[in-house]
Structure 1
Amino acid sequence: MRATLHTMRLRLACLLSAACGLYAVHGPVHTQTQTQTPATLPASPQQAASLSDRLGAAIGAAVRAQMDAGAMPGAVVLIGNEEGVQFKQAYGWRASQPEREAMSTDTVFDLASLTKAVATTTAVMQLVERGRLKLDAPVARYWPAFAANGKRDITVAQLLAHTSGLRPDLDSNPPWTGYQTGLHKVIAEKPQTPPGTRMVYSDINFIVLGELVQRVSQLSLPDYAERHIFHPLGMRDTRFLPPAEMRQRIAPTELRGDGSMMRGTVHDPFAHRMGGWAGHAGLFGTADDLARFAHAMLHVAAGDAQPNRRQAQPARAYPLLRAETLNLMMQRQSPAEQSEWRGLGWSLDAPWSPQRETLPPLGLIGHTGYTGTGLWIDLLHKQYLIILSNRVHPRGLGDARPLRRQIQALLSATHPVTTASTLADRLPALQEQVAQASSPGVNVMALPAMNATNTTVMTGIDVLRSQHYSALTGQRLGLITNLSAVDSKGWRTLDRLSTAPGLQLRKVFTPEHGLNRDQEGQIASGTDAVSGLPLISLYGKQLRPTPDMLQGLDTLVFDMQDAGARFYTYISTMGEAMQAAAQAGLNFVVLDRPNPVIADRVSGPVLDADLRSFTAFAELPVQHGMTLGEIARWLRDDIRTRTGLEVKLQVIGMQGYKRPMRFEQTGLDWVPPSPNLRTPTTALLYPGVAWVEGANISVGRGTDKPFEWVGAPWVDADKLVEAMNADKLPGLTISMAHFTPASGPYQNQLCHGVQFRITQRDQFDAQLLGLSLTRQLRLQNPSFQIDKTLGMIGSRDTLARIKAGQSQEAIAQSWQDRLRDFMTRRATYLLY
């Protein structure tokens, strides 16, 4: 499947037979009025408005969800095509510590491994075009000392393709510093596998390539890149070792061990040791500058030597690379038996398309950076995507991968279906590899692409897709969903069903918090801009679909992430919709998802039958230990018993799911299902802390720590911490908290209370937390409105025992008889 060395030599010979040379100047760049920063490329107003209108809200929702989840403090997203910029927006914060600073589109980011693709690969391929380097030549031809320790046969191409056999990183111990010291350590390296036999992503490869640039051009990589890439393209904010005057706009990365913040200093430890840059890391830049680079690459792909010809002033041609060079770079070089496809200097993937997983991973080149950066160029559709974040700020704990997947999925939903033949016809250089990948016996669906995940669990939508949507084919569908329903590739279930062949998705219904799970209060109906489908609110005047809403449908599909607590209203929305479907004679299909608070844990008071409400739809304990698919099976029988209606239910179950799994063990992306249920840790606390939410107490809504902070102006924080600690709640630490919520019962008022931190998840019991919190608030202050907790607790007996001052142990013991009865019935509905 990969190009042979002989084929590479032939292509290279053809490439080098053309006239060589690099132009030193580029024409004037299009500018806009913006402080300190040149604008990006010109934009087509009609295209920009169209893409912004269609994807702007969905992209913003995806970014904000990941910010809520703690994946990043903020981000800049830019989308463009060969005509110019189509979409550009900054979100959130570029700094959260020591003080918050708003993100802006001109923020300068540590680009991390984008250095490899933008600077080093481009420099190397330019030098190949000039005949100064040869791809199939041994590295030792240019750097004789490199041959030591079995590296004599490693070629330049193998470094670019990460098939050299070298390790991912240099050793960091004993501590060392200095560029030359780093090179000596490279010389001491030994290949771990024979060159050309295995792809292993390696920073060492690009440290070597950066040194080769210097050896053959007589310019350091920073000087070469500035002279031959950045300056000609007008990339004025892109450089190694950024100067002090840029510091204010640079997004800080991580706290150092001494407590200072890294800002304008390269985050990568080996580039830092080598003086602030190397061939693998050290580049800083903006979204606008990367757009200039991507724009130039698109015009290389088109064979256009004058990408700025639309500008008013004449521009000298600056061919960043030749089309023949790019054609070679975007072909697979990694060994056929490995699933990850890589070209020369870039990762490979299929173009953005509704069925891109059915295509060979060819036609799109991309690269990401450890700090949370990414650049992708779709050479088929002539479109590029830039996502820049400092996900490592402030403590190195974020994750940019879910957002990358989700935005690429949204882009894919806007393109028409692409076939392998279309790919081969429009990108002739890939015809041979496309044909090989599409030959009989090759299962492209089984080939993980660049953005694939290592998921342990397949959710209902993943299973449905693997079955080619056979359960829904030919039916007119209504979908009840929100943003939390994404598949393992980052696609919204809404977009999967609206673009899948053979399906007829007609209407979309939304629950509390709306489609984008970020609203409070009643939700209005509207339209989903991505799909163009009507959005019908089930959390406004109507909580249940009416017959008119269901007109013209055969099946209702339900897919959302539940919270694992009885009072989370998505259970109620599902139950109401099941009843409406039964009345209308519709099928009801549930696409199952994990219970995020562990599905083998059942605890808390069981709901009194006469306390049913929209926050208490069925006689379940607070922690029911069931998935939504299992609850749907329970509700089917419950509805039959109460109303005589027969629900035509089908549950598309998960694969690989086990009841004791924590959400982090599933490998799935966490998308907060509602504004304040931000992380899996918050989800664990929620079933306990929410006991008191109906009373005159803040549970942290309107702060950065919802359900982790609880308090009120009248709470004595010292006494509450002492009392709750005396209850010896397992797996939990409790400390004082003082906070001012921006919403809720004490908006803009200073509250005193407690902060909860889970220390041992396997021991933590949210129901004991809820009980302790409610008891101690009652014991400490008679102004606590304990009667208003009944709707959440759901048991008059439990509330009476708390008011009577019974012990924690006695109250928890009082739940056991009803829990045993529930467990017996529950067992008949379990799927896993």
Structure 2
Amino acid sequence: MIGDSNKPKITIRHLLTHTSGLAAGLRRDYEWSGYKNGIVMAAGEPSQGKAGFDYRYSDLNFILLGEIVARVSGMPLQDYCRQEIFLPLGMKETSYLPDPKLKGRIAPTTLLADGSLLRGIVHDPTARRMGGVAGHAGLFSSTDDLARFARVLLNGGGGVLKPETIRLMTSVQSPANIDSRRGLGFDIDSPYSSLRGELYPKGSFGHTGWTGTSMWIDRASESFVIFLSNRNHPFGGNVLALRSKLGTLAAKATGFNFSTVTETLPKVVPKSPKSPNVLNGIDVLERDQFAALKGMRVGLITNQTGINKRRITTIDLLHCSDKVDLKLLFGPEHGIRGTLDEKVEDGVDDKTKLPVVSLYAGEDRRKPKAEHLAEIDALVFDMQDIGTRFYTFISTMGLAMEAAADAGLKFVVLDRVNPIGANKVAGPMRDGDPTFTSFHQVPLQHGMTIGEIARLYQKEHCPKLKLTVIPVENWRRGMRFDETGLPWIKPSPNMPNLAAATLYPGLGLLEFTNVSVGRGTKFPFEVFGASYIDEEVFARKLSAAQLPGLAFVPVRFTPTASKFAKEECGGARIILKDPANCPSVELGILLAQTLRELYPKKWEIKKLNTLLRHPKTETAIKSLKPRKEIVNSWETGLEKFTPRRSGVLLYR
């Protein structure tokens, strides 16, 4: 798998032992359906940990394993299981998608919103959307069949499994550093093992099911306990304590002397993942004992992303240092804590009691005023940019640089990595006068760090400015944020993760038009749509373009805020299959072209140029020019930008 820095490291064993680092399941904030769409989304879900170092029970692991079985065998999962496992073992009552004739023997699991019972249909919502067949859920069985399967595991495989395969499945296969021990699929000793009860030894094994089902098997006593309950119907419940008691009672009923069984689990050997020692500018400044600011009275432009590797804020570091006199704070768009989406007012920081001057309280307040700078010697800038021209933090920095130059102050940029990589330059140059969302004459995706942008702007517009950039250390231009080991903090309220940041240059480009870019959902800048869009037609059209590194799943969603708030929208969930090669800006052009072609009367193109700032591209989209022709038309501008950019770069 690809998609982030963790996925290429995932093995089959990681999936089987729930140590892949994948998320627990699919995030849910929209409606979708289809087996293939489920696989695409499972493979595209961002990792939440590191393979081999984090235990997290994950449905995604087994969704993907089920697809692997289907691909390797060349058969649908349900057919392979029936032909190779159930029929040879005589498990006649076990299957996916049970015969409707068996409905009377199947326990209902829950009441649906319309008052009907869910019965004979898989309870798990993801498996249900995938058509009832998935690697993690959807199998129906009986106690007789499960008892037959348990005996096969105790008695050598029944001609279906080799004894050595059973030994692998039922012995610890988790990495030695993981203290939650699992076999290949089976639980052995983890937070889910309470059904073992008080007597069964730690070498025993089994599994649980969400609806209250469980099975536990012990080789020493040659016994097993199967419990098919339904904790969901009708109003939910908890069977953890009951499972444990049943496990104890079953073990007692065997009459076996469990004191003769010694624990056979291998010892846990702690081990930490190797993490690159990337240092942002604030980490370097702190390590060097604030030498660049020693003895200075300082003003600080920052927000919640201004932190060091230990998540201590730049505000606190400067405020507590005896080398620096931090006098006041400046709050950009979203404020110094990054929680505001509207106008930001002046105030006082609750923690430090320092005055906070707003740089986002109106167009005439975006630039620090002379009276704010009169009592300081240096203006420091520390915020996480995301590598896109219309993300306004670089505009705030540019205006502050002008103010510092006018006041004769030192301007210090604490550089930070470009999270989406700094070796990709894409999109048109600005064609027109500067605006707050198009402040610098750079491409839409500029491929620079904020410190390099500062060097460019000083060179071209503020040559008298006394600029110091504290550089990032141990970072390469091609590294994305998830390869740095640095903590991710939302740069703004609707930038929750690296996937959103990667797609932002494309989706954000269109958000002044009448579309939803996912604001007011759990997937800002990962879903895209509008009330007038037919999701099936739209996603199919996007998929046909075959943009590298991307997949499109038709979805319906209802934003709670921003465009189309509380209106159901059709559209697409955009899956990052290969973020490093994702053509984000070209994606924005594809979305615009598709809207123009499918919904010429409903999509309002008139505000597209607000962030695009390139009338020729806007005209080409209106005229439905080929996408590649549009992309190629930017080359002349990018060629002229190359030497300007090269002259200020700090990193290889």
What are the Cα deviations for residues 682-715 of structure 1, in whole angstroms up to 9, with x where unaligned? 1001011011111111111111111111111122
Question: 2:327 maps to what in 1?
Answer: 506
SS at match of 1:818: helix
1:769 equivalent among 578, 587, 599: 587
Change (3 A) 1:722 1:468: same
Is 1:620 equivalent to 2:439 in the alignment?
no
- Alpha-carbon distance in structure 1 between the residues aligned to 2:279 and 2:243: 38
- Alpha-carbon distance in structure 2 between the residues aligned to 1:589 and 1:560: 12
Residue identity opposite 1:692 in structure 2: L
Change (3 A) 1:265 1:697: farther
- Alpha-carbon distance in structure 2 between the residues aligned to 1:167 and 1:453: 14
Is 1:702 equivalent to 2:524 in the alignment?
no
Question: 1:719 maps to what in 2?
Answer: 537
Question: 1:791 maps to what in 2?
Answer: 610
1:805 equivalent among 624, 637, 641: 624
- Alpha-carbon distance in structure 1 between the residues aligned to 2:426 and 2:637: 10
Question: 1:747 maps to what in 2?
Answer: 565
What are the Cα deviations for residues 599-622 of structure 1, in whole angstroms up to 9, with x where unaligned? 0011111111x2310000011111
Is 1:531 equivalent to 2:349 in the alignment?
no
Is 1:681 equivalent to 2:504 in the alignment?
no
The TM-score normalised by the length of structure 1 is 0.48
- Alpha-carbon distance in structure 1 between the residues aligned to 2:307 and 2:614: 35
Is 1:565 equivalent to 2:565 in the alignment?
no
Matches within 5 A, 1:142-541: 169=179, 172-173=182-183, 178=196, 182=201, 454-541=275-362
Change (3 A) 1:181 1:462: same
Query: How far 1:718 sits from its partner (Å)?
Result: 2.3
Query: How far 1:454 sits from its partner (Å)?
Result: 4.1
- Alpha-carbon distance in structure 1 between the residues aligned to 2:438 and 2:243: 52
SS at match of 1:479: strand
- Alpha-carbon distance in structure 2 between the residues aligned to 1:741 and 1:473: 49
Cα contact 1:69–1:672 (8 A) shared by 2? no
Residue identity opposite 1:657 in structure 2: W
Q: How many residues align?
A: 421
What are the Cα deviations for residues 501-527 of structure 1, in whole angstroms up to 9, with x where unaligned? 221000000110111111112101111
Residue identity opposite 1:549 in structure 2: H
Cα contact 1:69–1:671 (8 A) shared by 2? no
SS at match of 2:351: coil
Query: How far 1:791 sits from its partner (Å)?
Result: 1.9
- Alpha-carbon distance in structure 1 between the residues aligned to 2:480 and 2:591: 24
- Alpha-carbon distance in structure 2 between the residues aligned to 1:476 and 1:462: 20
Question: 2:12 maps to what in 1?
Answer: none
Change (3 A) 1:777 1:502: same
- Alpha-carbon distance in structure 2 between the residues aligned to 1:567 and 1:265: 57
What are the Cα deviations for residues 189-234 of structure 1, in whole angstroms up to 9, with x where unaligned? xxxxxxxxxxxxxxxxxxxxxxxxxxxxxxxxxxxxxxxxxxxxxx
Question: 1:579 maps to what in 2?
Answer: 402
Query: How far 1:810 sits from its partner (Å)?
Result: 0.7
What are the Cα deviations for residues 561-601 of structure 1, in whole angstroms up to 9, with x where unaligned? 10110000000000000000000111000000011111001
- Alpha-carbon distance in structure 1 between the residues aligned to 2:202 and 2:579: 45
Question: 2:416 maps to what in 1?
Answer: 593
Residue identity opposite 1:469 in structure 2: F
- Alpha-carbon distance in structure 1 between the residues aligned to 2:551 and 2:596: 21
- Alpha-carbon distance in structure 1 between the residues aligned to 2:242 and 2:626: 56
SS at match of 1:573: helix
- Alpha-carbon distance in structure 1 between the residues aligned to 2:546 and 2:380: 44
- Alpha-carbon distance in structure 1 between the residues aligned to 2:592 and 2:177: 56
Query: How far 1:181 sits from its partner (Å)?
Result: 5.8
What are the Cα deviations for residues 380-428 of structure 1, in whole angstroms up to 9, with x where unaligned? xxxxxxxxxxxxxxxxxxxxxxxxxxxxxxxxxxxxxxxxxxxxxxxxx
Change (3 A) 1:544 1:726: same
The TM-score normalised by the length of structure 2 is 0.60
Residue identity opposite 1:779 in structure 2: E
SS at match of 1:654: coil
SS at match of 2:418: coil
Question: 1:667 maps to what in 2?
Answer: 485
Change (3 A) 1:176 1:816: closer
- Alpha-carbon distance in structure 2 between the residues aligned to 1:265 and 1:581: 69
Matches within 5 A, 1:3-82: none
SS at match of 1:589: strand
SS at match of 1:606: coil
SS at match of 1:800: helix
- Alpha-carbon distance in structure 2 between the residues aligned to 1:709 and 1:664: 21
SS at match of 2:312: coil
- Alpha-carbon distance in structure 1 between the residues aligned to 2:613 and 2:345: 29
SS at match of 2:422: coil
Cα contact 2:426–2:444 (8 A) shared by 1? yes
What are the Cα deviations for residues 59-110 of structure 1, in whole angstroms up to 9, with x where unaligned? xxxxxxxxx9989xxxxxxxxxxxxxxxxxxxxxxxxx999xxxxxxxxxxx
What are the Cα deviations for residues 24-77 of structure 1, in whole angstroms up to 9, with x where unaligned? xxxxxxxxxxxxxxxxxxxxxxxxxxxxxxxxxxxxxxxxxxxx9989xxxxxx
Query: How far 1:626 sits from its partner (Å)?
Result: 0.2
- Alpha-carbon distance in structure 1 between the residues aligned to 2:532 and 2:400: 42
Change (3 A) 1:587 1:781: same
Query: How far 1:739 sits from its partner (Å)?
Result: 1.5
The runs of 5 or more residues in structure 2 that have no matched partner are 1-45, 50-122, 126-175, 189-195, 205-230, 245-250, 253-269
Cα contact 2:430–2:438 (8 A) shared by 1? yes
SS at match of 1:495: helix
Cα contact 1:70–1:679 (8 A) shared by 2? no
What are the Cα deviations for residues 764-784 of structure 1, in whole angstroms up to 9, with x where unaligned? 110111110011111111231
SS at match of 1:622: coil
SS at match of 2:556: strand
The runs of 5 or more residues in structure 1 that have no matched partner are 1-67, 72-96, 100-165, 186-243, 253-261, 268-273, 276-337, 341-449
Is 1:635 equivalent to 2:454 in the alignment?
no
SS at match of 2:291: coil
- Alpha-carbon distance in structure 2 between the residues aligned to 1:723 and 1:649: 48
1:816 equivalent among 630, 635, 638: 635
- Alpha-carbon distance in structure 2 between the residues aligned to 1:264 and 1:551: 68
SS at match of 1:603: coil
Question: 2:41 maps to what in 1?
Answer: none
Change (3 A) 1:778 1:614: same
Residue identity opposite 1:763 in structure 2: N
SS at match of 1:611: coil
SS at match of 1:672: coil
Cα contact 1:455–1:488 (8 A) shared by 2? no
Cα contact 2:181–2:187 (8 A) shared by 1? no
- Alpha-carbon distance in structure 2 between the residues aligned to 1:637 and 1:492: 30
Residue identity opposite 1:726 in structure 2: A
Residue identity opposite 1:790 in structure 2: N
Residue identity opposite 1:638 in structure 2: E
Matches within 5 A, 1:73-112: none
Residue identity opposite 2:473 in structure 1: Q
1:655 equivalent among 469, 473, 476: 473
What are the Cα deviations for residues 639-690 of structure 1, in whole angstroms up to 9, with x where unaligned? 23xxxx6111000001111101010101000000101011011100101101
* Identical-residue share of aligned pairs (%): 37
